[in-house]
Structure 1
Amino acid sequence: MRISSLLSTTALYSAAASGLFAALTATAEAQSVSAAATETGDSDAPPLQTSPPPAEEAQTGEIVVTGSRIRRTDLESAVPLVAISGDAFYQTGRSSIGDVLNDLPSLTSTFSQSNSSRFLGTAGLSLLDLRGLGTERTLVLVNGRRHVAGDILNNAVSTDINTIPTDLIERVEIVTGGSSAVYGSDAISGVVNFILKDHYRGLQLRGQGSISQYGDAGNYYLSALGGVDFGDGRGNIALNVEYAHQNDFYASARKDYRHADGFITVDTDPFDAVNGSDGVPDNLFYRDIRSGTFSNGGTFLSYLGGDSYAPFLFQPDGTLIPQTGQAVGLPPLPSYIGGNGSTFREGRQLGLLPKLDRYSANLVAHFEISEAFVPFIEAKYVRTDSLGNASGPFFFSGGTTGSPRERFFTDNPYLTDQARGIIRDFYGDTSGAFDAEGNPIPNGINDADEQGFTFIRNVVELTNREEAARRETYRIVAGIRGKFNTDWGYELSANYGEFVENTRILGNVNLQRFLLAIDAVDAGRVQTGTPNGQIVCRASIDPAARIAYEGATDPVFAAGQLATDVAACVPINLFGEGNITDAARRYLLQDSFARGKITQFVLSGFVNGDTSEWFNLPGGPIGFAIGAEYRRETVSYRQDQATAAGLTFYNALPPFTPPAFEVKEVFGEVRLPILKNVPFFQQLSMNGAFRVADYKGATGTVASYGGGVEWAPVADLRFRANYARAVRAPNLVNLYSPLGQNFALVNDPCSARNIGTGSTTRPANCAAAGVPAGYDFVYQQSLAFQSGGNQALKAERSDSYTLGLVFQPRVLRNFALTVDYFDITVNKVITSPNAQDILDACYDAADLNNQFCGLFTRNAGPGLGPRGEIPGQILENSLKVIPLNYAKLKVRGIDFDASYSRKLGNIGDLSLRGIYTLSLQNDTFLSPTDPNRANQQLLELGFPKHEFTIDTALKTGPLTIGYKVRYIGKMVLNEYEDTFSKQGRPPQNADYADRRFYPDVAYHNIRFDIQVKDRMNFYAGVDNVTNRKPPLGLTGSGFGSGIYDNVGRLFYAGAVVKFG
């Protein structure tokens, strides 16, 4: 196939404008190949069309389109479908298939490369999220078959798109709406089906490289694709090998990112403010923001009295100096503009793109022994190596470890006299007793000497906390297919996939050793009262200081390691950057690892055909498909023993080896062509589908079904309407995840400052729970909690409706327009309420007799709890966050897809394509106490109301010039409900900021393509020509901000050479 097309204009097409379909035989389910349609490496075919060929030129071979297993001769999809040619992935400077697809308005950038490092174990993943309903509700297929997952710590059901072979892609078909009746569980929002080249001949070599204008964020791609016929053309085998490399880059390398810009809270509204507003903006935008707490050398917060602190910064020589810059924000801990504070973006602290290397080998082959017996095979091996950093270095703040020993004492010999004096000056002299007038009674000992002091620090010398993951995917599909009875077909296949991930956790700190190492003393002072300059860990000479880590999830293992840790202890100097010795670094850093594995085995078989041999309806024969499927999946995950025991600064996850997931399914489809070629009924047909699935375990038996109607009053215009009931069964992670440690910064709903912000029942419920009067605890660091699975979960259910039209006017050749309305509601959504939701739901209910109050425990005693909790405080690690079937999701919108091509005389051939999505609703219903309360996501960051792409290409002789624009509409700064009313509720915080929206953004791309003697193609282009950055301080590395490009202007060039 010649690579003379440009951008998505010639690479994108819709089912409505599918002239290309007539020439394609590598179908989703039935892949019979005719000699006329065989793809070769030296084809002289013109550029791919975006509009249908004239009727007399259209081929009439049967084809199966994603969304159905029934063969059709009319090439039109009964469901909303967008298809993308494999050439689309040539036509950008990016090497990530997922990032290219995420440009489509129907897909949400939940896991683009720039924001994939947000969670443990996800750096470098590329996961698709159709309609923003979640990656676990988007079913990804390859040639119409399931593909093993690649996201062990996300949900263990989503396919990593990095495993798809780029140059072997024939096309990608995206179907909106529930498709469980056809494809099974998970197809809630729709299906993304990658259809591979099935009959390739020749040899193609391709190489491409790109680099940003700043000299970073480059990526490189090399590919070889070769195929050959054998057995007199009855068989074909093709092999594709690829290598892709993506460079990481960091905020510190860019002037636009190295200084933190963003919003700072400068005002709070009184409790009785109307609409949560006093007319003064709560947040203002500032540039060059510096932290007023954390710093790279360490921050000592000196108490000035009242509600005010003054930060002092440790210098490399161990002295303290005041933080400079303009203090902005609310006390007690304001931020600073400029000055000598830290930005959290120095060095490699903030990664904006993970490093990724991808190695891929794919084989596809088939041999036609007879028309009724065609064995086929698909096999792949893919390895990706990723290095992701979004966590920054290890830090501590006086309570990070959850241990009361996270304190420093003034007898620490690393503390300079100057710093010691400043610290002691800001501590008083109290004994814990008070006189008759309530004044503290001194005991002659400075509190800093007696009780210790805290300070806050990013420990940059210990390197960043990064995950180096090696992910390997193996997959083989073997089967037979064929035709019989003239117009019947069948397929039987076995599909096995295996995913293995080995992760090294870099920059991980052993917390038991950290607590021992920070308690440094002069050995002579402790033992004889006279300093001798020998600095040691206190635990090395004082048995009373030999304490196992209190926060360990496996205290027995921690105690067993204690003697070794004490014997090896190396004291650490944390007072100022650059003072940690190599020996201390080696002592603290923990060699941590994790290993995960996912397997999938699928047996599938189906028969499709029609009734033409027996009878026809007025519109033609009845089409049908019927089949069965068996699927078995396993997941396992384990960490090294020290990490799993909670001894390190990485989330402790116990070994995960749940029972296998198994399901047996039967399914069927029918298409009834009622009328054809009569006045006002050029076509009238109905379709239906069903599937019954029997799941092992509590999920049980569930059914999915759907139906639709198509009506074409004239040849130029066709209407389609569909309804589908889809399901998503709880996966192994939902069901069996063992309880593991996690952390969240929460507000206690029963604290005096929060008790009036909930329902009218909250005060009474807090009192009934035994919370003491006057209780006003405020969390300064995260609450430790346990999260895991729930074996009582049931399947999610969705109802989707689509209504659309396809317009192809004969008077305007090569023009096509599709308009489709979609409405998807997901009920019984499996979701884990977050820690804050559980706490609020417990006390905002009518009484304490609800499912949420049993998920945590408070300290009911008069004394301190096991980790120092005061009476009434929630006990650390007592809160359990588990998934429940209680939420609802709803999205609505309209998709527009228009394409047009024509010859411009002697100038050349012009083609245009526009895809636009108008989102009408995107609501989540997550309130446990008010199931009808909608939380609007539409117009929030990552969910624009308006989004479109327009592609144009002009081919003149050997040269093709392409241009693409991608538009993203404006989005609100914070929650939609802050600024606007919802369901009759007034805005919650109308003066949230001095502006309401992130501005709309348009990205412009250009490309030049030269064809040389039909064998070589050279191309070059520029993505993001105007060098647009994410707006208002965003970096593109967050959940919603991943919709924006953060690389900037990107130059690329490549070449394709074909032989044979």
Structure 2
Amino acid sequence: MFQRTRVCKALMAVLGGSAVLAAAPLAAQTADAGMQRVEVTGSNIKRIDLETSSPVQVISREEVRRSGAASVKELLDQLTSAGSTLSDINGSNSFASGASSANLRSLGKTSTLILLNSRRVSPYALADFNEVFTNLDALPLDAVDRVEILKNGASAIYGSDAVAGVVNIITRKDYQGLQMSASHEQSLVSDRYRQSTASITGGFGDLQRDRYNVIANLEIFNRDNVMWRDVLSDVNPLRFVPGAIPTTFATQASTFSYPGNTIPGGALPGCAPELVIGGLCRYDRFSRFEAVPEAKRINLLLSGRVLLGKDMEAFAELLFSRTKTKYLSPFQPYGVAIGPTTWGNPQTNAGQTFFPRGLPATHPLNSTGIDDVELRYRFVDAPAENTATSNSYRLQTGLRGTWNSFDWEAGLGFLGSKVDDAQRGQFSNSGFIALIGDYNLDPLPNDFFNKPGGYRIGEVNSAAVVDRLFPKFGNAAKTTQTALDFKITGDIGQMAGGPIGLAAGVDLRHEKFTITPSANLAAGDIVGFGLSRTDGSRNFSALFAELNLPVTKALEAQLAARLDKFPNLSPHISPKLGLRYRVDKSFMLRGTVEGGFRAANLAETAPSVKFAFSNSTEDPKRCLQALNLASDLRNQADPLPDADPTKAVLLARADTVEQNECAAGVAAIAGNNPKLKPEISRSFSLGFVFEPVQDLTLSVDYWNIRRRNEIDIKTEAELLNAEDAGLPPGASITRRALTATDQSFTPAEQAQYGVTAGPLDSITRSFENLFKTRTSGIDLGATFKQKLPFGVMDLSYQGTYLIKFKEFSGTINGFGDNLAGRYTYPRFTSTLTAALTSGSFLNGVKISHTPSTSLRGDFFDPTGTDQWCADRGLEGTCRVGSLTEVDYFFRYSGVKNLTLGVYVKNLFNQFPSLDMRGQFGTPIPDTADDAKRRSLKLTMEYKFF
């Protein structure tokens, strides 16, 4: 077994402890007794001699088992330093559906670098608008030996784009044997929320005896989908209390139904009698609201090592992953009360609007004789779904060995990802006009919804008609990289504290990135849908070097630098200085200062265009007026009997008016910018590690990150608030004219409520170096182990206190409010795990705490303010409550080669804290956990040999 040389120990301090663990040097086979073996013990590197200048959290394989996580995403979400981010569960409406990301320090997907065995893995082929990131669902959990999180900002060793930190997943090595594991989890509140895993790991060959070792791991993950209708009875009952949460959540019977209604004509022929309520045909809206999508994943990891001689080893590793996530969506509703739908037209770079119309007076289903009578209908003909299928891989090969007194390693890697995002269930604009009619014509054509060979309301339509009206669409995305790297390490001198360690290396890469939308998306033919189109490639490279300077026996200095060169940019150097001072055997001080760098990705600089659809924009010129109108409409409806159709119409219109103006649909158009400057960061940390008694270790680390030249586009809210004062260059806001046929207000209501601006149509801007972010906080850690008469108790604590999070605003040319303690930025999060091992039994609890936050965003965000809450009747409840959740785990290993486990999540069956901001204006709960609550996970592991 290889051992760690002295220089490797030095590099461990520079690299934050993980690079040395990922690759043991061949020179150590002939090492003398003074050289140390590579060992990972405990759940954290908390022994003083293993603590480095950089704060590193290490999650051991045992801690992974105690976490209850079924995926890498679930594991990283438990970090107290993690912010909210994309998940495949909530990603159906994102540009990168079917993927999950990490987000350390709440600095975004692009600021957390994910490594597998100290090397990069392929990014997800679909950028989330402009964010390119690693899909955590494509990484195996069962193969993990440990996970190391470098938490002090940018790293000059692993990659200068790691502004918030590095997550390095280290897999098992030198394993011999065969074992199988399986798990199954589901809610104890219902039999839903089911997910299962199964894996098998095999390894053979002793590297020292047989001169080779091969390991294979296959992991399968399956998650069933959950529809809200199936778990609605388990939702927090406060959501149904009138006035508690003023939303449309309790309005379960929609009048947008099949075969539909005319207003005021009532239910159309063919509606089942039991579905007619108040004279209108109803539809269970929750039957197609999905809480959790179906997911299937396969991860395969193969690795091999062969000794080619006394001083050389060859290695190879193949990672292959296939993920498939299927989202079900509501069937397409239709009616003027829904309001117009605005989206971008890539052919003209402008917005376009779809206007629902009613039935002409001559239509056979129009019993009212009113022309353009309101129709409320639901197209249940076509599947409404989105399936995101991804295949990703990384083939890493290389050689490592020794030359004189130096260790060296060379690697060649091929990595890539391919994603097929296939959707259906939205109108084709041209298909609608051809099969139903031109909604832009006035007066309404007599054959609207009655064209020969066209679509028929409430009847069985042919496959050809349905396929043209609801065609397939989506994106085909592909990214590839070829990577060549080399590094050398060794001792180059002597100082008072020991040998001077040197490491240097080079990283060369070629990258290609394409996102190709379907032809109908590219033509702007799918109503309400945006697109992201990118086609580019580039070569880039980096040089890096590190020095470990043992100034004295107590003081060590680590110096590191990375030089990055990207096309059209000057070379950029990211430096790092780390200091570690051991006061005595039980107390150590540490600190780092370093710089970070991120060049714009190909989704931001290469020829590309992005058409988004913002469906939650609050229009400051129309929202308050809409709220007042909606309140008056509800007041009119209150005294009417439930059987009166007028009541349903009034309530439905109130909901629609609110939705149209306070959660408006706006075409958001963004273009690439080849002149973008790189993002620059500066970070520093200062802390200590203290071991007052044996087996008790405490750590405190202050961290501070400042990032500038951030690449982004201005927010809709910021631009809308600056609309009258003057928009910045390159930005524009387009509104439709204020007319008598306005989407929300009649001419009389326009005068009554003071409406002077037309509805929003589109907002256009390009990527720019716009913003800055400043954030700081304190990380706390503690571990304790104690032998007791009845077993061994160990405790582990992690906490993060957010002192400051501020974002720069170009509108005021200064920083906004401190967001610490505000919406999605909790002030102090913490996790305590306690376990007792008694012979073959293990019992433990994990306690996680998230504090209360206000509903407020930054200064320019009108949502969540005291006035916003007052306008919605939420005075005194403008907060998301705190939540303390307790999990229990148990494991039994008394049968030879067999281990059985139980994990109970949310032991006390608590509801998630109510989020008035996330809930307001939405027809479903804002979190799937609301109905899941307490769940049970059963695990089994068997070792064949």
Indicate the TM-score class for this superposition, using the shorter chain for normalisation. Answer: 0.7 to 0.9
State the identity as a percent: 23
1:347 counterpart residue number: 287
2:582 aligned with 1:606: no
2:752 aligned with 1:885: no
> What SS is found at the alignment partner of 2:932?
coil
For the 8 Å contact 1:262–1:1033, the answer to whether it is kept is: no
> What SS is found at the alignment partner of 1:108?
coil
Deviation per CA, 1:531-589, whole angstroms, max 9, x where unpaired?
A: xxxx896655xxxxxxxxxxxxxxxxxxxxxxxxxxxx42231xxxx656465544422
**Please, which of 150, 154, 171 is the counterpart of residue 196 of structure 1?**
171
For the 8 Å contact 1:297–1:316, the answer to whether it is kept is: no
Shift of 1:747: 6.3
For the 8 Å contact 2:738–2:759, the answer to whether it is kept is: no
CA distance in 2, matches of 1:1043, 1:482: 51
2:250 aligned with 1:289: yes
Shift of 1:29: 4.6
> What SS is found at the alignment partner of 2:156?
helix
Which residue identity is paired with 1:408? G
Deviation per CA, 1:583-633, whole angstroms, max 9, x where unpaired?
A: 55444221224211111221111112223xxx4211111122111111222
**Please, which of 247, 250, 274 is the counterpart of residue 224 of structure 2?**
247
2:599 counterpart residue number: 729
1:28 counterpart residue number: 22
**Structure-to-structure mapping, 1:408-423, within 5 angstroms:** 408-411=358-361, 413-417=363-367, 420=368
2:700 aligned with 1:819: yes
CA distance in 1, matches of 2:27, 2:187: 43
Deviation per CA, 1:335-372, whole angstroms, max 9, x where unpaired?
A: xxxx99989851122x2222111112111111222353
> What SS is found at the alignment partner of 2:133?
coil
Identify unmatched segments of 5+ residues in structure 2. Answer: 1-8, 42-46, 343-351, 626-659, 748-755
CA distance in 1, matches of 2:663, 2:104: 38
CA distance in 1, matches of 2:795, 2:838: 15
**Structure-to-structure mapping, 1:69-218, within 5 angstroms:** 74-91=49-66, 93-123=68-98, 125-154=99-128, 155=130, 157-213=132-188, 214-218=190-194
Shift of 1:933: 3.2
CA distance in 2, matches of 1:234, 1:244: 34
2:180 aligned with 1:219: no
Shift of 1:73: 11
Which residue identity is paired with 1:702? H
1:695 counterpart residue number: 566
2:839 aligned with 1:957: yes
2:943 counterpart residue number: 1058
> What SS is found at the alignment partner of 1:236?
strand
2:525 counterpart residue number: 647
1:832 counterpart residue number: 713
2:934 aligned with 1:1049: yes
1:674 counterpart residue number: 551
Shift of 1:779: 9.4
Which residue identity is paired with 2:606? Y
For the 8 Å contact 2:455–2:461, the answer to whether it is kept is: no
2:397 aligned with 1:478: yes
For the 8 Å contact 2:545–2:561, the answer to whether it is kept is: yes
2:327 aligned with 1:388: yes
Larger gyration radius, structure 1 or structure 2: 1
CA distance in 2, matches of 1:642, 1:969: 46
CA distance in 2, matches of 1:781, 1:462: 27
1:434 counterpart residue number: none
Shift of 1:1052: 1.7
2:645 aligned with 1:704: no
Shift of 1:173: 0.4
Which residue identity is paired with 1:806? V
Q: Give the TM-score, by structure 2 length.
A: 0.81
| Count of residue pairs brought into register by the alignment | 856
For the 8 Å contact 2:619–2:760, the answer to whether it is kept is: no
CA distance in 2, matches of 1:496, 1:709: 36
2:498 counterpart residue number: 620
For the 8 Å contact 2:112–2:162, the answer to whether it is kept is: yes
2:819 aligned with 1:937: yes
2:341 counterpart residue number: 400
For the 8 Å contact 2:508–2:540, the answer to whether it is kept is: yes
Change (3 A) 1:623 1:469: same
1:588 counterpart residue number: 469
**Structure-to-structure mapping, 1:548-587, within 5 angstroms:** 569-573=453-457, 581=461, 585-587=466-468
**Please, which of 388, 399, 414 is the counterpart of residue 469 of structure 1?**
388
> What SS is found at the alignment partner of 1:347?
helix
For the 8 Å contact 1:408–1:519, the answer to whether it is kept is: no
Which residue identity is paired with 1:138? T
2:801 aligned with 1:918: yes
Which residue identity is paired with 2:691? Q
For the 8 Å contact 2:218–2:299, the answer to whether it is kept is: yes
For the 8 Å contact 2:70–2:197, the answer to whether it is kept is: yes
Please give the root-mean-square deviation of Cα atoms over the aligned residues, in Å.
4.5
Q: Which moved more, 1:596-605 or 1:92-101?
A: 92-101
Q: Which moved more, 1:154-163 or 1:702-711?
A: 154-163
**Please, which of 556, 565, 590 is the counterpart of residue 720 of structure 1?**
590
> What SS is found at the alignment partner of 1:657?
strand
CA distance in 2, matches of 1:911, 1:64: 17
For the 8 Å contact 2:95–2:126, the answer to whether it is kept is: no
> What SS is found at the alignment partner of 1:255?
helix
2:315 aligned with 1:373: no
The structure that is strand-richer by fraction is 2
Change (3 A) 1:188 1:1049: same
Which residue identity is paired with 1:915? Q
CA distance in 1, matches of 2:224, 2:273: 39
For the 8 Å contact 2:16–2:52, the answer to whether it is kept is: no
> What SS is found at the alignment partner of 1:188?
coil
Change (3 A) 1:507 1:902: same
For the 8 Å contact 1:234–1:367, the answer to whether it is kept is: yes
For the 8 Å contact 2:775–2:804, the answer to whether it is kept is: yes
Shift of 1:964: 1.1
> What SS is found at the alignment partner of 1:101?
helix
CA distance in 1, matches of 2:557, 2:933: 49
CA distance in 1, matches of 2:499, 2:387: 57
CA distance in 2, matches of 1:988, 1:467: 38
> What SS is found at the alignment partner of 1:112?
coil
2:943 aligned with 1:1024: no
Change (3 A) 1:371 1:949: farther
Deviation per CA, 1:233-278, whole angstroms, max 9, x where unpaired?
A: 4321111111111111122111356799669999xxxxxxxxxxxx
Which residue identity is paired with 2:834? T
> What SS is found at the alignment partner of 2:380?
helix
2:44 counterpart residue number: none
Shift of 1:701: 2.2
For the 8 Å contact 1:476–1:496, the answer to whether it is kept is: yes
Shift of 1:483: 3.1
**Please, which of 746, 761, 780 is the counterpart of residue 896 of structure 1?**
780
Which residue identity is paired with 2:564? A
Change (3 A) 1:510 1:981: closer
Change (3 A) 1:485 1:476: same
Shift of 1:856: 5.3
**Structure-to-structure mapping, 1:842-857, within 5 angstroms:** 843-845=724-726, 850-853=728-731, 855=732
For the 8 Å contact 1:630–1:665, the answer to whether it is kept is: yes
Deviation per CA, 1:774-809, whole angstroms, max 9, x where unpaired?
A: xxx979953334223221111111111111110112
